[in-house]
C-alpha cells in the first residue's frame, strides 16, 4: 500500500504548467499538474485509452478539440475519451489537478 498526499509540497512555475509524476506502475501513472492563473496545459491525446482528471484546488476550464468547454471546481472529475485532444486552463487562481493516465500496452 502507498499513500500520496496530493496537496503537500506543491510546486508552481512561472514558465508554464508544472507536471509532477506521483506514481507509476504497469497500468499507468498518476501526475499532479499545477498551473498559475492564465496558464494552459495542452495535453496530448491517448490513442487507445481515456484520461481521468480530478480538480483538487482552484477552478479550471477543460476544453476538447470540438470546442466544448466546462468550468470545473474542486471535486470535479473530467474524463476525456481516447484520441480526444484536450487542454486545461487555470482561471482566476492557482489550479491543482490530478491526472490518471494509462499505458496503452502495460507500461
Give per-residue pLDDT as tens, 14-44.
Answer: 999 999 999 999 988 999 999 999 999 987 6
Q: What is the pLDDT of residue 22?
A: 96
Only one residue has cell 476544453, namely: 63
Residue 7 DSSP label: T
pLDDT per residue over 48-76, tens digit each?
Answer: 788 899 999 999 999 988 889 999 999 99
Domain total of the chain? 1
12 within a domain of the structure (yes/no): no
3-state secondary structure 41-100: EEECCCCCCCEEEEEEECCEEEEECCCCEEEECCCCEEEECCCCCEEEEECCCCEEEEEE
For residue 84 the three cell numbers come to 480526444
Tell me whether strands 51-57 and 77-80 are parallel, antiparallel or unpaired: antiparallel
CATH no. for residue 40? 2.60.120.10
Domain extent at residue 48: 18-102
Amino acid at each position: 500500500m502507498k499513500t500520496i498526499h496530493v496537496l503537500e509540497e506543491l510546486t508552481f512555475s512561472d514558465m508554464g504548467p508544472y507536471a509532477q509524476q506521483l506514481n507509476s506502475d504497469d497500468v499507468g501513472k498518476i501526475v499532479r499538474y499545477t498551473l498559475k492563473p492564465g496558464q494552459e496545459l495542452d495535453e496530448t491525446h491517448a490513442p487507445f485509452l481515456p484520461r481521468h482528471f480530478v480538480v483538487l484546488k482552484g477552478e479550471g476550464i477543460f476544453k476538447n478539440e470540438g470546442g466544448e468547454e466546462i468550468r470545473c471546481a474542486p471535486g470535479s472529475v473530467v474524463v476525456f475519451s481516447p484520441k480526444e485532444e484536450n487542454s486545461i486552463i487555470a482561471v482566476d487562481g492557482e489550479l491543482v489537478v490530478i491526472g490518471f493516465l494509462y499505458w496503452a500496452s502495460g507500461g
